[in-house]
């Protein structure tokens, strides 16, 4: 087979090559059953085993305590921006306030959606700094009886990340971890709820994972669709309705791959190494610039700009010729973005860095 290029897409993102190979090998005939996972009843023992294995592998990888449910939800993170408040805002009685820490595009979308379901308090914002930093928790204006506090642990577009877990006392902390789940060791008990779309660091688009503490389940607002009521999903172990069977299967293959790699701690070390290679290259250059404050630079998504925008197209074309794909920055920021999720090998970042140095030398 032809050597595959390195894919730096922000999402849907690259999957481990061996996962794709296994999915391909099992496409027509899953384990001698003569059918694809796509064609299986979600109530069959075979699919139930796929689901149960995926759930227990994820529980193991993130050391999720027994007091938390793991739900596979057929909803993207943008949909969860509505589903989470519909499930959690009713817990403290009306009218609920949700505290948001506004650190970029994704937390901004979350808070705009939540305004339909509760009063939103922006407890802190880095908007004035163009979202180049995470506001210091000393200055957050939290609400004492908030339904929950929402953060986006890794702003995929702006390239910032939380490298600490804020202390919100008895108010549950909710984190959108769509772009950094499984890239660093977590203490799940510090969170009330964690959600993440699969298509960045866990699998393919079509499913999200919700990890939620038991006592936060069962308070859905009356108009919450039944299929998105965490109580129903928990009671039916993610089988309230037909789940996205193939997307769950792919997550399961990725979890197996992660276990073979040595787990999340190994991914965290790799992420440190890969991101340091790229940030060092950017900081040492006079052509490339990353504007994010050093203490909160994302290890997953590295936005960078060329000092001369006129070189952008040439940079991207040359990168593609060298087998370095999807480096174009998000349309809202421009410039470039290299996403370094778990599936990106160190060799991919080394190749990117040497291409960047060579491009700078020529221009
Ligand atoms: C990608 C992403 C989303 C949105 O995902 P959709 O599948 O488009 O809904 C939300 N939050 C974060 C942090 C993301 O990276």
Q: What is the mean pLDDT of residues 171-196?
A: 98
Catalytic residue numbers, as ranges = 106, 176, 200
Q: pLDDT band for position 93 (50/70/90)?
A: confident
pLDDT of residue 217: 98
Q: Is 244 in the pocket of ligand 1 (CB under 6 A)?
A: no
Instruction: Measure 28 CA to ligand 1 centroid, in angstroms.
Output: 31
pLDDT digits (tens, 9 = 90+) for 155-183: 999 999 999 999 999 999 999 999 999 99
- What are the helix (H) ranges across the chain? 17-25, 45-61, 77-88, 105-114, 230-235, 245-261, 264-283, 312-321, 346-362
* Correct CATH for 21-261 of 3.40.50.2300, 3.30.420.10, 3.40.50.10490, 3.40.640.10: 3.40.640.10
Tokens 């939290």 locate to 142
Q: How far apart are CA 51 and CA 278, in angstroms?
A: 37
Closest ligand 1 atom, CA of 80? 9
Instruction: Measure 109 CA to ligand 1 centroid, in angstroms.
Output: 9
Q: Model-level pTM? A: 0.98
Q: Is 152 in the pocket of ligand 1 (CB under 6 A)?
A: yes
Closest ligand 1 atom, CA of 199? 7
Q: Is 300 in the pocket of ligand 1 (CB under 6 A)?
A: no
pLDDT digits (tens, 9 = 90+) for 20-53: 999 999 999 999 999 999 999 999 999 999 999 9
Q: Is 179 in the pocket of ligand 1 (CB under 6 A)?
A: yes
pLDDT digits (tens, 9 = 90+) for 234-287: 999 999 999 999 999 999 999 999 999 999 999 999 999 999 999 999 999 999
Q: From the CB of residue 314, how many other CB atoms can be counted at a distance below 10 Å?
A: 14
Q: Is 240 in the pocket of ligand 1 (CB under 6 A)?
A: no
Q: Is 159 in the pocket of ligand 1 (CB under 6 A)?
A: no
Q: What is the mean pLDDT of residues 139-158?
A: 97
Q: How far apart are CA 105 and CA 78, in angstroms?
A: 12
Ligand 1: which of 197, 200, 207 to mutate, most ligand atoms within 8 Å of CB? 197
Instruction: Measure 138 CA to ligand 1 centroid, in angstroms.
Output: 28
Q: What angle do CA 30, 36, 39 make, to 5 degrees?
A: 135
Ligand 1: which of 79, 178, 199 to mutate, most ligand atoms within 8 Å of CB? 178
Sequential DSSP letters for 291-330: -S-GGGB-SSEEEEEESSGGGHHHHHHHHHHTTEE--BPP
pLDDT of residue 3: 85
Token pair in block for residue 125: 């914002």
pLDDT of residue 292: 98
Q: Is the pLDDT of residue 94 over 80?
A: no
Q: What is the mean pLDDT of residues 61-69?
A: 98
Q: Is the pLDDT of residue 1 over 70?
A: no
Question: Percentage of the chain with pLDDT > 90?
Answer: 97
End-to-end Cα spacing for the chain: 35
Instruction: Measure 178 CA to ligand 1 centroid, in angstroms.
Output: 6
pLDDT of residue 95: 80
Q: What is the mean pLDDT of residues 294-307?
A: 97
Instruction: Measure 20 CA to ligand 1 centroid, in angstroms.
Output: 22
Q: How far apart are CA 334 and CA 312, in angstroms?
A: 9
Burial 196-235 (b: 16+ CB within 10 A, else e): bbbbbbbbbbbbbbbbbbeebbebbbeebeeebbbbbbbe
Q: How far apart are CA 163 and CA 66, in angstroms?
A: 25
Q: Is the pLDDT of residue 2 over 80?
A: no
* Average pLDDT value for the chain: 97
pLDDT of residue 272: 98
Give the closest residue (by CA) to ligand 1 atom 12.
178
Q: How far apart are CA 41 and CA 43, in angstroms?
A: 5
Q: Is 330 in the pocket of ligand 1 (CB under 6 A)?
A: no
Give the closest residue (by CA) to ligand 1 atom 8.
78
pLDDT of residue 347: 97
Q: What is the mean pLDDT of residues 289-308?
A: 97
* Correct CATH for 263-362 of 3.40.50.1240, 3.20.20.70, 3.90.1150.10, 3.50.50.60: 3.90.1150.10
pLDDT of residue 92: 81
Give the closest residue (by CA) to ligand 1 atom 10.
77
In the chain, domain spans? 21-261, 263-362
Instruction: Measure 77 CA to ligand 1 centroid, in angstroms.
Output: 5
Q: Is the pLDDT of residue 97 over 80?
A: yes
pLDDT of residue 169: 95
Q: State the number of CA atoms in the 13 A half-sphere of 52 facing the CB.
A: 8
Write out the H or E segment, with its range, that includes residue 289.
strand 288-289
Q: Provide the Cα torsion 268, 138, 196, 333; round to 10°.
A: -90
């Amino acid at each position: 087979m032809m050597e595959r290029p390195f894919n730096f897409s922000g999402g849907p993102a690259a999957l481990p090559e061996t996962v794709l190979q296994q999915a391909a090998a099992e496409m027509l005939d899953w384990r001698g059953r003569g059918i694809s996972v796509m064609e299986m009843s979600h109530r069959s023992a075979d699919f139930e085993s796929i689901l149960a294995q995926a759930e227990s592998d994820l529980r193991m990888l993130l050391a999720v305590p027994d007091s938390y449910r793991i739900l596979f939800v057929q909803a993207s993170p943008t949909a969860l921006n509505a589903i989470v408040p519909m499930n959690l805002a009713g817990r403290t009685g009306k009218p609920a306030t949700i505290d948001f820490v506004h650190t970029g595009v994704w937390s901004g979308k979350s808070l705009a959606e939540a305004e339909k379901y509760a009063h939103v308090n922006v407890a802190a914002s880095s908007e004035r700094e163009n979202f180049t930093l995470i506001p210091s928790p000393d200055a957050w204006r939290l609400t004492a009886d908030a339904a929950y506090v929402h953060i986006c642990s890794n702003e995929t577009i702006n390239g910032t990340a939380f490298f600490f877990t804020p202390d919100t006392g008895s108010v549950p902390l909710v984190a959108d971890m769509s772009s950094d789940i499984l890239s660093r060791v977590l203490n799940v008990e510090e969170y009330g709820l964690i959600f993440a779309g699969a298509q960045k660091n866990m699998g393919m688009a079509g499913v999200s994972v919700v990890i939620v503490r038991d006592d936060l389940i069962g308070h859905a607002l009356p108009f919450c669709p039944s299929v998105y009521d965490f109580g129903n999903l928990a009671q039916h172990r993610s089988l309230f309705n037909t789940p996205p069977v193939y997307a769950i299967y792919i997550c399961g293959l990725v979890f197996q791959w992660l276990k073979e790699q040595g787990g999340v701690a190994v991914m965290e070390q790799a992420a440190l190494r890969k991101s340091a290679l790229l940030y060092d290259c950017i900081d040492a250059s006079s052509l490339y610039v990353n504007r994010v404050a050093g203490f909160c630079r994302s290890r997953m998504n590295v936005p960078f700009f060329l000092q001369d925008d006129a070189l952008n197209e040439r940079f991207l074309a040359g990168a593609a010729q060298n087998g370095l794909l999807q480096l174009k920055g998000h349309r809202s920021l421009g410039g470039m973005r290299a996403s370094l999720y778990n599936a990106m090998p160190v060799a991919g970042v080394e190749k990117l860095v040497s291409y960047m140095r060579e491009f700078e030398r020529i221009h």
